[in-house]
Structure 1
Amino acid sequence: MRRRSLLLAALPAGLVTVAGCGDDKSASGKAGASPSPSSAPPPKIVEGPLPAVTAGTKFGEKPTIAKGPGEPSKNLAVKTLIAGKGRPVAENDFIEANYLGQIWSTGKVFDNSYDRGQPLLMQLAQGTIIDGWRYALVGKKVGSRIEIAVPPAYGYGKSGQPQAGIKGTDTLVFVIDLIEAFNSRSSAHGKPVAQSDPALPKVGTNTDGKAPKVTVPKTAPPAKLVSAYVLEGDGAPVKADQTVLCQFQGLVWDSGKTFQQTYGSGRLSQFSVQQMEQTVKGLAQGLTGKKVGSRVLIVVPPELGYGDNPPSGGVIKKGATLVFTVDILAAM
């Protein structure tokens, strides 16, 4: 089992865990229990003091951070060490980032993603991430390295985080490499792959965040699972024990009706591949092994979908073959 961050809230999981993104102002961001006090007012942001980064000073390198110099500020200290050139991050975006966190007074490292070899994937929203990150990273550009010092009120408050060795009086220091950010306008940007089989649905290759057009042929559906690239990305293959962040739509083969989608909803989907295996097995199997950054067509026969037990009250009937298009934005 992959080790999760000690600092940040656990990722939500389920059949289709849908979470608000930066361009949806009505999104509540209730994707998990908040690890930081909800009553704290917005912090004053200052430039320091901040400890020096003494080694690993390049973007993507595991940093070494000196012990905090003297007393930390009671405000949130934020400094851009390397300015990125990507788009600015907005409230409720999902971020992909590497980070190292240590305690100001002792210099003790309590968590880092560099050693795990797996960046953090988390929504920058109240209730899913400590407020120090949420306030510090909004407006920062993708490709930036940010150093922050988080006072207790914007970290874990008076209770601290005992399992990580964090006391309720500890100021926390982070170096964060902001790799990527995603919102509901995000799409896969892989290389188009020829769609030459007339017995399979044709899927649009637009990359504007809108739902790709799906044309289902007027023929009998395939009897076996189909998983094919529409746009082939260059990321790592999705593993069965990962959580994926994606855009998706699901249609019924016979009627062509859409039963669920994220495109145009102001939201993205985040779910565990393992848990998906327990609900729509064909979708989990179709995603496993496909590269991050891809758009994938998945045709799920009834025995790998809902079979004779479809969701009540919807357009999916008994024995339905399902058609999915999935833009795999990130995986953790």
Structure 2
Amino acid sequence: MRRLAGLLVVPLLLLTTAACGSDDKGSDSGSMKNGLPAITAGEKFGEKPTLSQGVGNPPKELKVNVISEGDGAVTKKGDVLSVNYLGQEWDESTPFDNSFDRKQPYPLTLGQGQVIQGWEKGLEGQKVGSRVEIGIPPELGYGAQGQGDIKGNATLVFVVDILKAVTLPKSASGTEVAQDNKDLPKVGTNTDGKQPSLTVPKVDPPTKLVSTYVLESKGETVAATDTVAVNYVAALWKDGKVFDSTYAQGKPVNFPLAQLTLKGLKDGVVGKKVGSRVLIVAPPSEAFGDQEQQGIPKNSTLVFAVDILAKV
């Protein structure tokens, strides 16, 4: 099954993509604190940090220093986190990546294998509002193969600010909205967390973007700059065949909308309320146009049923 989640322009996915370089220099003083390289500037939560180079042998097991403890909820598996981070190899003085410069916090869901194990283990059980420094041995990072510019068998050091944690509902909810246009697809209204039905009529598709509520909640309105956690099922208008579903994968996905390249999906979510279920019909001009994409035929009209679970 094809995954539209890959249609994001994301600078760094800590599990699967190459890291980005940085010109920021850490201190060469070799100072250490509690067994990890010291933060030499920008130590406070929210400030972009710099790190000294590690001295001596790196830790063989995961090591977590709480630089400053927040007063928010304790993070747990299944929570969607929004974080800022800076990452550096133990024996280097230059970071390989940081989100502070991009001014775009990174979203991840704990316990779903979206990030390296060092992050999964190091961030679970921490309080929102905390800054933590994590030393990650190779077996909990990128192992012998390395990743992008990161060497094989590298010990990694991250400074991470935990900005937010959201516990996702199992389903959209709210008031059912009448689906009385016989020329539009019909979407199931179940709220049990299972994939809703999606039935496409055997008529010509609309030529303009359609975005309409199936279940309308009373949540916040989604803005184009937001990151949202969603479940969705997607089908081709031509034959009603499902080509992608987060339900089939068993986990929602996080969409930073500013980085979502499928225009119809992005525009169909923006302006809708968190907690709602939305029907989106994206004509070719709002989808992939006259280009085949991941096996989706050119000039395809795409149909989505999207549960907007949370704003991260």
Band the TM-score falls in, shorter-chain normalisation = 0.5 to 0.7
Equivalent in 86, 92, 102 of residue 73 of structure 2: 86
2:159 maps to which of 163, 175, 178: 175
Letter in 1 for 2:15: L
Asked if 1:326 is matched to 2:307, the reply is: yes
- How far 1:196 sits from its partner (Å)? 11
For 1:181, the aligned partner's letter is A
**1:237 maps to which residue?**
224
- How big is each residue's C-alpha offset from its partner over 1:242-279, in whole Å with a ceiling of 9 and x where there is no partner? x853145799xxxxxxxx9879x9732457989995xx
Instruction: Provide the C-alpha distance between the structure 1 equivalents of 2:60 and 2:228, rounded to a whole number of angstroms.
Output: 37
Q: Which of these residues, 6, 11, 14, is aligned with residue 4 of structure 1?
A: 11
How far, CA to CA, are the matches of 2:306 and 2:193 in structure 1? 12
- Matching residue within 41, 50, 60 for 1:64: 50
Q: Which runs of 5+ in 1 are unaligned?
A: 12-46, 214-221, 252-259, 306-320
**Cα offset, 1:4, TM superposition:** 1.8
- Given that 2:211 and 2:279 are in contact with CA atoms closer than 8 Å, whether structure 1 keeps it comes out as yes
Once the two structures are TM-superposed, the CA of residue 115 in structure 1 deviates from its matched residue by 1.0
Q: Secondary structure at the match of 2:36?
A: coil
> Which whole-Å CA distance do the structure 2 matches of 1:62 and 1:292 have between them?
33
Equivalent residue number for residue 286 of structure 1: 268
Q: SS where residue 109 of structure 1 aligns?
A: coil
- What residue is the counterpart of 1:32 in the other structure? none
User: 1:7, CA displacement in angstroms?
Assistant: 4.2
The alignment covers a number of residue pairs equal to 267
Q: Which residue of 1 aligns with 2:62?
A: 76
C-alpha displacement at 1:111, in angstroms? 0.6
Give 1:155 deviation, angstroms.
1.4
Letter aligned with residue 170 of structure 1: A
Assess if the C-alpha contact under 8 Å between 1:104 and 1:170 holds in 2: yes
TM-fit CA distance, 1:150: 0.9
Q: Secondary structure at the match of 2:252?
A: strand
SS at match of 2:308: strand
Determine the C-alpha separation between the residues in 2 that align with 1:118 and 1:291: 22
Query: 1:267 and 1:130, CA in 2 relative to 1: closer, same or farther beyond 3 A?
Result: closer
- TM-superposed deviation, 1:99: 0.7
Distance 1:6 1:197, change over 3 A: closer
What is aligned with 1:24? none
Q: Is the 8 A contact 2:172 2:277 kept in 1?
A: no
Report the Cα offset of residue 84 of structure 1: 3.9
Query: Does the Cα contact within 8 Å between 1:102 and 1:109 map onto a contact in 2?
Result: yes
DSSP-derived class of the 2:160 partner: strand
CA contact (8 A) 2:228 2:310 kept: yes
Contact 2:43/2:49, CA 8 A, preserved across alignment:
yes
Tell me the amino acid that sits aligned with residue 175 of structure 1: V
Matches of 1:146 and 1:54, distance apart in 2: 15
Confirm or deny that 1:147 pairs with 2:133: yes
Task: Determine the C-alpha separation between the residues in 2 that align with 1:184 and 1:51.
Answer: 35
Amino acid at match of 2:156: L
- Could you tell me whether the CA contact under 8 Å between 1:238 and 1:292 is conserved in 2? no
C-alpha distance in structure 1 between counterparts of 2:256 and 2:10, whole Å: 14
Secondary structure in 1 matching 2:310: strand
Q: TM-score, normalised by structure 1?
A: 0.56
Cα drift, residue 158 of structure 1: 2.4
Distance 1:261 1:128, change over 3 A: closer
**Does the aligned pair in 1 maintain the 2:14–2:114 contact within 8 Å?**
no
Tell me how far apart the structure 2 counterparts of residues 285 and 52 of structure 1 sit (CA, whole Å). 44
Mapped contact 1:68–1:105 kept (Cα < 8 A): yes
1:1-53 Cα shifts (integer Å, max 9, x gaps): 84521743259xxxxxxxxxxxxxxxxxxxxxxxxxxxxxxxxxxx9412222
Q: Map Cα deviations across residues 119-162 of structure 1 (whole Å, 9 max, x no partner).
A: 2223434753212112212222333221111122221222323x
Mapped partners of 2:192, 2:133: distance in 1: 32
2: CA distance, partners of 1:60 / 1:130: 23
Equivalent pair of 1:183/1:267 in contact (CA under 8 Å)? no
Offset at residue 74 of structure 1 (A): 1.4
Percentage of pairs with the same residue:
39
Is contact 1:101–1:175 with CA below 8 Å preserved after alignment?
A: yes
Matches within 5 A, 1:93-242: 93-125=79-111, 127-161=113-147, 163-164=148-149, 166-182=150-166, 184-185=168-169, 225-227=209-211, 230-231=216-217, 233=220, 236-237=223-224
